[in-house]
Amino acid sequence: MSEGNITFVDFSVTNFNGSPSLSSYALPETPLTFIPDVIIGDNDKAFWAWGDGTTSYSLTANKYYDIPGQYTVNFSILDCFDNVLISSQSKIITIVDYIQYTFKIRGYVSLYFQPDGESLFFSPSSDAYTFESGNIIDLTNGYIGGPITINTYYPPYQPPSDVYVDVLSSGSVDYYSISSRKYGHLQNTYGIFDSLYNYSLSTYQFREIDRIRSINSEIFAKKGTSGGLIQCSKEDVGSFYVGLSGYKEFFVKDDTVNESVSFDFYFDKTNSYFKDKSDSFNNLGITLSAEISPASASHLSITTNGLDGEGTPITSFHIGEHKFSNTKIPFVVKIKDYYNFSIKNFPNIEIGDMTFSVLSSDNIISSEYYTISSLNSTLSSDHFGSFRGYISFNDLSDVSPTVDIKIGVVLPTISDESISYSLSGESNSFSIYPKEYYEFYKKNEDFGFSENLKDMRFQEFLLDDGVLFDDFLGSIFGGSESSYDTLGKKIYEKISNFTENISDVDRCEIFSLLSQMEMLNVDKNVYNSSLVRYPELVKRIINMASINKNKITGSSNKFSENFDIKGRTSKEVYGTNIGNEIDINTYIITAGNHVVALEKFSGNYTLLNSFQPISSVGSATYPISSYSGDWGWPLVLPPSSQFTDISKYYTFFEYVSGYEGSVSGFSIDFENSGSTIPLSATNSELFDGGIFENMIIDKFTNTLRLN
């Protein structure tokens, strides 16, 4: 074909399956084939301009585009000087994504949370459908509604991209904007959540998220037998990678009762391949409207800081079980619904709005023994449906703890929608201890340094110098009745217990153990090396608690073969396990009642098992006079000995069972009057939230003035 002095040539285009087409996918496996309708001379060459900045000199050429769009393709024939001899008419090629860069949101018209006893979430029986912009979803204030499913799709050139959510026209604030405020969670907030399984609690729990990050998997396809592409598994013959698909369940919440809230979902545009473009490639979004209805209040929650779980209750921030007299115990009262969601469409709760009752083991404690005060003034005025205050107990007992204390609250209130409620709630139980109720002294902390100095006064003029030894040196180093943290006792204890504290792995303290591990290049990352930064009084307790329990309180002597009476007539100390002498001619042995043999020549005692010869005797009772060598008793007799000869070699006694029972090897000096930890304390009483935890909290709350 020619026009004026220019000759034009046509070319045909076929797709990857050989069909004529001016479009294809943005994949290397789906190229277009370009065939010009011309024959060129020996000195001429073909030239293709593909419209994407690349060129080719093949007469028949294959070309694929890895980015979607429209491309203008031109063909020319050049002479040896690169002059155009023949050109083609331009053709527009359309390239599309096989996997489109997009996301879809699926859910229900009504979104809400409701435990059903079998699974975490219960959804309406109607089928979920894909939301389009403008769809309306129904929510309940405070509820974490859902689940909503998002499906994301990414072509090969686009890295996975997060989906963000903007909440518009809400009366609440973004959850992530309150992170710097200690009690910001008491405000009205909105947010998005996912759920994680808590293995320690055996349940799902919600977690606030600032974006939706889908879990992605690769997509593969292959060429179909009748043309086109079909999705397949990676292992299929001829499969090739075509993109990613993602999936994520999430939930939404808004604390405000509102009819005009909207949720605007959109891809992270800063991560888009087309981030510099303003066309449809970079403007995908879905906006859903929400009507938020009021929830019905059910009860009051009382915790230390108001973090009591949403939907699934948590106990992490209950009032600690160890509290102390004359110490402020903070607590937060919140309004909750039947499903344990926080309901905030209420005015602030003031101390005068509530009626308090404080009980110990269900017995009312008179208000003269405690004080309740408000801390609402320390919060901003924009917290809703909650109260922050503290309770302090005084003069309950100076000698013993008051246990099983609970704080009860009754609140009549009216919601913002003018609905009246009478709500009540009760805290978990805790105990009030006198300050320093538990204390311990280590071995060798009974040393009186000032008394020791006095014993070394050999010069007469020093004997009557009480000012120097009592007032001066005594105030520095302390005496036998001084506290364990006086200088003299600390020095003496460290010297006396040096081996146990430093090198004995069974008794050494945790910091010494870590030092040994470091010396041996043992990985100690599993331990918290920040322990070294604890205050000295707390560090002392942690050191003791790190020792094996049997080394803390000692162990009972289990020796049960105390046979030698050492010539004494009394067996209170020696020979406690040996009884009366046996007449071997008449004594009847009963299985389980062992006997003791004394070898006359060596003076050695041997405990004989009364069960052992039953297999030979065949009875649970048998006379000792029937003894024979096959009983298996470890008696040493001449080979031809008869029973009548046995008394020449052995004397037999009854066995008295029992342990010697003395306790030894303890690290705590239980004889010191300052040690109030009982010797009989069990493992669970010491650890697992027991005595040592009590002591640590005591030091933090009282000595260090920390709540």
Domain residue spans of the chain: 2-96, 102-293, 300-337+349-433, 449-552+670-703, 578-655
Phi, psi of 373 (to 5 degrees): -130, 160
Bridge partner list, 284: none
With 90 as the cut, is the pLDDT of residue 3 above it?
no
State yes or no: cis peptide before 147, omega within 30 of 0.
yes
Q: What is the pLDDT of residues 259-278, one digit of tens each?
A: 889 999 999 888 888 877 66
Apex CA 326: angle with CA 534 and CA 445, to 5°?
45
Bridge partner list, 203: 198
With 50 as the cut, is the pLDDT of residue 114 above it?
yes
Output Rg (C-alpha) for the chain, integer angstroms. 43
Identify the pLDDT of residue 332: 95
Q: Taking each helix axis from N to C terminus, what angle separates 536-545 and 691-698, rounded to the nearest 10 degrees?
A: 170
Contact predicate 599/649, CB 8 Å: yes
Name which residue leads in pLDDT, 490 or 452. 490
Identify the pLDDT of residue 24: 94
With 80 as the cut, is the pLDDT of residue 601 above it?
yes
In degrees to the nearest 10, what's the CA dihedral of 402, 307, 249, 283? -170
Residue 232's alpha-carbon distances to 102, 219, 238, 543, 585, in angstroms, are: 21, 8, 10, 62, 93
With 70 as the cut, is the pLDDT of residue 612 above it?
yes
Reply yes or no on domain 300-337+349-433 having CATH 2.60.40.2300.
yes
Identify the pLDDT of residue 2: 46
Identify the pLDDT of residue 23: 94
Position 527 confidence tier, pLDDT thresholds 50, 70, 90: low
Identify the pLDDT of residue 126: 54
Lowest mean pLDDT among 109-123, 127-141, 400-414, 480-494: 109-123
Q: Buried (b) or exposed (e) across 683-698, using 16+ Cβ within 10 A?
A: eeebeeebbbbbbbbb
Identify the pLDDT of residue 124: 47
Phi-psi region of 28 (alpha: psi -120 to 50; beta: other; left: phi over 0): alpha
Identify the pLDDT of residue 380: 66
Q: What is the mean pLDDT of residues 637-650?
A: 84
Apex CA 573: angle with CA 572 and CA 579, to 5°?
65
Mean pLDDT of the chain: 85
Q: What is the mean pLDDT of residues 65-91?
A: 88
Q: What is the pLDDT of residues 326-367, one digit of tens each?
A: 889 999 999 999 889 999 999 989 999 999 999 999 899 999
Q: What is the mean pLDDT of residues 71-81?
A: 90
pTM assigned to the model:
0.72
Q: What is the pLDDT of residues 533-585, one digit of tens each?
A: 777 888 888 888 888 888 888 777 888 889 988 888 777 788 889 999 999 99
Q: Which helix (H) or strand (E) holds 692?
A: helix 691-698
Q: What is the mean pLDDT of residues 151-171?
A: 92
With 60 as the cut, is the pLDDT of residue 587 above it?
yes
Are the folds of 2-96 and 300-337+349-433 the same?
Answer: yes
Identify the pLDDT of residue 389: 94
Identify the pLDDT of residue 523: 66
Q: What is the mean pLDDT of residues 666-680?
A: 86
Identify the pLDDT of residue 535: 79
Spatial separation of the C-alpha atoms in residues 65 and 25, rounded to whole Å: 8
Number of helical (H) and strand (E) elements in the chain, helices listed first: 11, 42
Identify the pLDDT of residue 193: 92
Identify the pLDDT of residue 396: 81
Identify the pLDDT of residue 119: 44
With 80 as the cut, is the pLDDT of residue 109 above it?
no
Identify the pLDDT of residue 107: 84
Contact predicate 157/273, CB 8 Å: yes
Position 118 confidence tier, pLDDT thresholds 50, 70, 90: very low
Q: What is the pLDDT of residues 408-448, one digit of tens each?
A: 999 999 999 999 999 999 999 999 999 889 999 888 888 87
Q: Pinpoint the alpha helices (H) of 424-577.
A: 449-455, 466, 474-477, 487-496, 498-502, 510-519, 536-545, 549-552
Best mean pLDDT range from 452-456, 464-468, 678-682, 702-706? 678-682
Spatial separation of the C-alpha atoms in residues 674 and 481, rounded to whole Å: 9
With 70 as the cut, is the pLDDT of residue 116 above it?
no
Q: What is the pLDDT of residues 82-108, one digit of tens each?
A: 788 888 888 999 999 999 999 999 887
Sequence letter at residue 545: A
Identify the pLDDT of residue 684: 87
Contact predicate 326/393, CB 8 Å: yes
Spatial separation of the C-alpha atoms in residues 509 and 548, rounded to whole Å: 10
Instruction: Give percent above pLDDT 70 in the chain.
Output: 90
Q: What is the mean pLDDT of residues 673-683?
A: 87
Sequence letter at residue 390: Y
Position 155 confidence tier, pLDDT thresholds 50, 70, 90: very high
Identify the pLDDT of residue 196: 86
For the beta carbon of residue 199, count every other beta carbon within 10 angstroms.
7
Instruction: State in words which class domain 2-96 has.
Output: mainly beta
